[in-house]
A and B are shown apart, each in its own frame.
Chain A
């Protein structure tokens, strides 16, 4: 099946592992991804906080670029924030003709045009579970993730809110289950994760550390309390917050959580028989190696980060712990 593909800014570098693993599994899964020509940033949650028409015009330029692809009217976004913005722009342009008119006037200044509602915006998870389907994936699994306990983490923007013209949401807003089912098909043990649809805090670490770190702490603690070996996510912002900021969060709360966070496409790849290296495993800051060793996945030593010896590893005298 053919799709227009909108990677989004994060997937260019910070979340390159998400992009590379998506591209790698696309072929065996039978997806042909055609990258939207010269796409631009969706504005994240920032432009809409400053300018209304400009923020919608910025998003609509991508929809206009995507409509140039005659091979498919389906636009796939792996990033939940891009997915939400593209859907939302589509919806409000259909619903609010005044807005649509202004956005198109702006687009015309750049010789572009977008007919609201013509592009169908889909999330990568939706396409994988609904178009390719659980059964078809199950047939392709050669190295099942048997014995790996995974906390399925959806985050917020993929499951909320429902935008009617973008098609019905493919999962429940409060208790989504599609990723759970997918991970079970891959052979993993899926833990009950009450925080699965809670927010990672988005940009809050930059606005208020106490607020941002607390949201991250809840999610990591939830996975640890439920004995997960790792969290699997489908959004680059969630991955950056939970993995990248885990160390700073630990320092803030004087905790020592070590919860690896991988993209769902990376674990799909492992189960299809790809090497960990092909899936960019090792690019996460909290190493997934101990968790993956449980299921016999080896990550070569040379790629491991150079770790300075921690205080615990030095022969230091310790005070006996009080009972």
Chain B
């Protein structure tokens, strides 16, 4: 039984695995996965994932694209890279999780919008000002996804404000026009690739 049997395209059409590999920078070593499960066993948020990374990789190889993109697994990846450094085959697991998030966002296939919206809100501030803005991010995100969560972290909020650790307005970098031009060009190249 070879879990990699569908990695290569058979009828000239790009397989899902090929799409994932192509969209990830560097050499992913995805095709060398031996399904050992070291990744899932090392993952701090593994117990809350729909699929362990190992299981998700088997689904990718099997070409079950929708099941993969609707899984919460990539969005529950905390980017700690334990799996990546422990993988005996040196598969770039964390990078592949990022690729899966990007494909899910670009093709608008995800089950729960909490995490994608968090990333979008974060980046919205960065694209406008060049720096991130915690108050704006937390405020917008909680309003959208967790309005009652405000009460849970009210104590923390008061603490952060009274200790002077909260900025009330974002910092704008001087080279904003140049940064906007860079990001616009980058997005144009993204589409053409």
Contact = CB atoms under 8 A, between A and B. Distances in A.
A210 B47 CA distance: 11
B48 A44 contact: no
Interface stretch (B12-20, B30-38, B57-65, B168-176): B168-176
A206 B141 contact: yes
Contacts of B193: 53, 102
Interface string A9-50: 100111110000000000000000000001111011111111
Given A50-B119, A54-B187, A92-B26, A160 B81 contact: yes
B167 A46 contact: no
A289 interface: no
| Size category of the binding interface on chain B | 35 or more
A198 B146 CA distance: 27
A116 to B, nearest CB: 12
Interface of B: 23, 25-27, 44-45, 48, 75-76, 78-82, 84-85, 94, 98-99, 101-102, 105, 114-116, 118-120, 122-123, 126, 130-132, 134, 138, 141-142, 146, 149, 152-153, 155-156, 159-160, 162-167, 171, 173-175, 178-179, 181-187, 189-190, 193
B25 A57 contact: no
Contacts of B84: 160-161
Nearest to B118: A206
B160 A173 contact: no
Nearest to B126: A41
Contact of B25 (A14, A52, A247): A52
A52 B23 contact: yes
Contacts of A198: 44, 80
Nearest to A103: B186
A283 B166 CA distance: 11
Q: Which 9 A-B pairs have the closest CB atoms?
A: A199-B80, A110-B178, A156-B80, A109-B185, A160-B81, A106-B186, A54-B186, A110-B182, A13-B167
A54 to B, nearest CB: 4
Nearest to B121: A46
Given A41-B132, A207-B115, A305-B162, A106 B141 contact: no
A95 interface: yes
A129 interface: no
Nearest to B180: A110
A112 B85 contact: no
B79 A157 contact: yes
A54 B82 CA distance: 26
A46 B48 contact: no
A202 interface: yes
A206 B139 CA distance: 11
Given A13-B164, A207-B76, 17 more contacts: A13-B165, A13-B166, A41-B132, A44-B122, A46-B118, A47-B119, A50-B116, A51-B187, A54-B186, A102-B186, A106-B189, A156-B79, A160-B80, A199-B79, A204-B45, A244-B156, A251-B152
